[in-house]
Structure formats: structure tokens, C-alpha cells
Amino acid sequence: MISFLNEYGSDLLLKTWEQLYISLISLGAGIVVAVPLGILLTRFPKTAKVVIAIASMLQTVPSLALLALMIPIFGIGKFPAIVALFIYSLLPILRNTYIGMEGVDPVLLDSAKGMGMTGWQRVWQISLPQALPVIMAGIRLSAVYLIAWATLASYIGAGGLGDFIFNGLNLYQPDLIIGGTIPVSILALLTDFLLSKLERRLTPVNLREEGEDDEN
């Protein structure tokens, strides 16, 4: 391990940054698109089924095949990889946003309506905070998926830790394979841990206390 760090230490930092960059940009774009769309679809249940079905269909396309499909459209490099990973990020976030918003206690919404809140006030002040734990669960799942799938982006010249893994496979060098695999696993675990802390901080106090009571 020491010899690997001495030889590839600077490359490891660069590849780790590329892996994070590709994953986080894709995740951020997925959140920006899927969360508002999931909220909007709660107003149109029939349309929601169609949109979620389309997102589910895209999710079934093998990740390597989707990356390959990006090449004729966008060429090679980071941008096509980000587009492909963005598509993969949509389903978990979209589905969880829709489910979370639909699962809000109707009594709370009726009370808010009785207090004179408008439809969008009820969404932003009641529904969204109550649905946040479910939405964050989708974001966490998507983040872990993207960090793992970003490894395959090496095939289309996007860089990342996949360069180590695939070079190791091609050259029969286990140290390169391990040197790429371990950081990917650490990144996925660390991202999930940090997002769980963010989820706890953003979750309304009443829901947080209910979760603690359930654990006890």
C-alpha cells in the first residue's frame, strides 16, 4: 500500500476528485429536476404513473450501454458521463419525492387549509418538511449508486477511479484494482454517512422524535 501511494499518490487524488466531481454534479442535477417534478406530479396522479414508468424504464438500461449511447450524441469525456449518470439519478429521487409528498398526513393539510394557507404554502411549509426523510432516502440511494456507476465512466474517457480499476484489469496488476476499488467504497460510505447527518439536521423535530421512539 505504501509503495502504491508513493507511485500513484498524486494520480489517486486527481482520480478521486474526478469521481466526486462527476457524481456530485449528476446528483445535483438530478435533485434540481426530480424533486420539483415529484412535487408537481402529486397534482396529476395519472401523469405521475406515466412519468415514473418512463424513469423506471430508463433505469433498466445497463449503465455501460447508456454510457455508450452518449458517445454518438455528446462524444467522449466528462459531459456525456454526467448526462448518463443524471438520467440514472432521476428514478430514486423522483419516486421517493412523490411517495413522500403523497404520504403526508391529510389531517395536517386540512388544518393548514383551515388556517388560510394557500396550496403552495401548504406544500412548502407542511408537505415538503414532512416528506423530507423519504426524499432524503432517495437522494442517499441515488448518491451511492452514482459513485459506484461513475467508475464505468472511465470507459468513455471521463476519468475517475475507474481508470485504476480497468488499467489493473488490462495489465493484470492487482494493486491498481485494489487502489481504485477501496477509495470508491470509502467514498460511497462516506457520502451516505454525511447525507444521513444532513437528513437528520433537516428533518422536523417531531418526525425525528418519532423515529427515536420507534428505535427504542
pTM: 0.85
Closest residue by Cα to residue 26 from 200, 112, 153: 153
Cell (9 digits) for 164: 485504476
Residue 4 has pLDDT above 80, yes or no: no
| pLDDT tens sequence across 44-80 | 888 988 998 988 888 888 888 888 888 888 888 889 9
Triad 144, 155, 94: Cα angle to 5° = 35
Residue 207 has pLDDT above 70, yes or no: no
Residue 57 carries which side chain, given as an amino acid letter? M
Residue 121 carries which side chain, given as an amino acid letter? Q
Closest residue by Cα to residue 173 from 183, 164, 186, 182: 164
Domains, the chain, ranges and CATH?
A: 2-215 (1.10.3720.10)
| pLDDT tens sequence across 154-195 | 888 888 888 888 888 888 888 888 888 999 999 999 999 999
Cell (9 digits) for 4: 502504491
Higher pLDDT, 138 or 207: 138
CA dist 88 → 39, 78, 152, 201 (Å): 19, 15, 13, 27
